[in-house]
Structure 1
Amino acid sequence: MKMAPVIAVVGPSGVGKDSVIQALLARVPNFERVRRVITRPHGEGGEDFDRVSDRMFQTMVQDGSFVLYWAAHGLQYGIPVAITEQRQRADAVLVNLSRAVLPEAQKEFRELIVISLTADPKVLAQRLAVRGRESAADQARRLGRATAALSEGLNHVIEVDNSGSLDATVETILSGLQPERAYR
């Protein structure tokens, strides 16, 4: 059975990954979002995710519940094995990934498309401040990592500046995914 591609949306904190994913889902009927498992503390929002404790996360790792997992920003993130079922029924699955796990994701999923979002540093700083999830020191650390390069050897990367309108970003992404296919 043919598996749909995994579209990894990556970029620095505040670049608008979740907004872009939501806009793509609204625009393309048979795209699905992968719901991540995160050890984010109660009271912290963000995307729609499954919140678990550190202990539960480690149990899930031991039980083989994830096809991919990593640590970032003091939290643990996991992509559930259910992504395989999603890939069997959708045209593509969208997932917010860390840039650091892209080589592992490419090995795991084979059909990996990377949407690498960037934005003007002033825009990133403003978005992080409005989000209000991190202290000023944490925001500064995140902004310091904003220009981290992607790993070498990724098969399909679409780079998009998300400093402007969300509609313009989505148009750029859709035209870069498969120009011959009508996502409009």
Structure 2
Amino acid sequence: MSGTSGRLLYFMGPSGAGKDSLLDWLRQHLPAELPVQWARRTISRPAASGGEAHESTTPDGHAALRAAGAFALHWEANGLAYGVRHSELAPLDQGRWLLVNGSRAYLPKALVRYPALVAVHITASPEVLRQRLQARGRESSDEVEQRVQRALRFLAPPGTAGIEVRNDTSLDAAGQQLLQALERLPGWPG
């Protein structure tokens, strides 16, 4: 790890892009000896078996933590509150690379705090997003279309260091694309 400086990799993407599936794939395929870590999020929802390992809070508990300054990063999305505690980002100061499951809407604020972060945008074509969202059956056709249009309008702030991964075909193909893009980053500890 000597000579390696810490870097924040900030993963984000629209609903239906398969971000969580792709992050699970990455967890399974990153070499264990790499000096990279995953930041655990605090989320205002119960811990679910088989889902993301997170710290669970109630909405009121989350608001109290936020008011007390417990979070280095925090945002709301899809009716839930998310936060990343300061202690979860401490590995950056130790020269480690840190992976955070973030939010597109919060990216500008995250960049203010961590201007050198690398934004990793996981997306898919409008047709694939639409198809996946409809298959979930959680939203009306109008709500699905609003999500697809919001995904199409997303632009990272100018000057943001970034990677875009299209998850349109197989999870393995997108995972390999992501892993190769990470390996090309300057200073990647692999």
Q: TM-score, normalised by structure 1?
A: 0.81
SS at match of 1:82: helix
Counterpart code for 1:96:
N
Partner of 2:81: 76
In structure 2, how many angstroms separate the alpha carbons of the residues matched to 1:49 and 1:156? 27
In structure 2, do the counterparts of structure 1 residues 23 and 135 end up closer, same or farther at CA, with 3 Å as the change threshold?
A: same
> CA separation in 1, counterparts of 2:26 and 2:95?
13
Give the CA deviation at 1:60: 0.1
Give unpaired runs (5+ residues) of structure 1.
Answer: none
Structure 1 position 67, deviation (Å) = 0.4
* CA deviations over 1:36-59 (Å, ceiling 9, x no partner): 122236889853322211211111
Asked if residue 40 in structure 1 is aligned to residue 42 in structure 2, the reply is no
Give the Cα separation in 2 of the matches to 1:154 and 1:113.
Answer: 11
CA distance in 2, matches of 1:145, 1:112: 23
Q: Does the alignment pair 1:149 with 2:151? A: no
Alignment of 1:25-174 (within 5 A): 25-28=27-30, 29=32, 30=34, 31-40=36-45, 47-88=52-93, 91-131=96-136, 134-136=138-140, 138-174=143-179
What is the identity, as a one-letter code, of the residue corresponding to 1:65? A
Structure 1 Cα separation of the partners of residues 27 and 98 of structure 2: 10
Farther off after superposition, 119-128 or 105-114:
119-128
- Aligned residues: CA RMSD: 3.0
Listed one character per residue, the Cα deviations across residues 114-154 of structure 1 (whole Å, up to 9, x for unaligned) are: 1112212332233334545x333654443332213223234
Structure 2: gaps of 5 or more residues: none
AA matched with 2:14: P
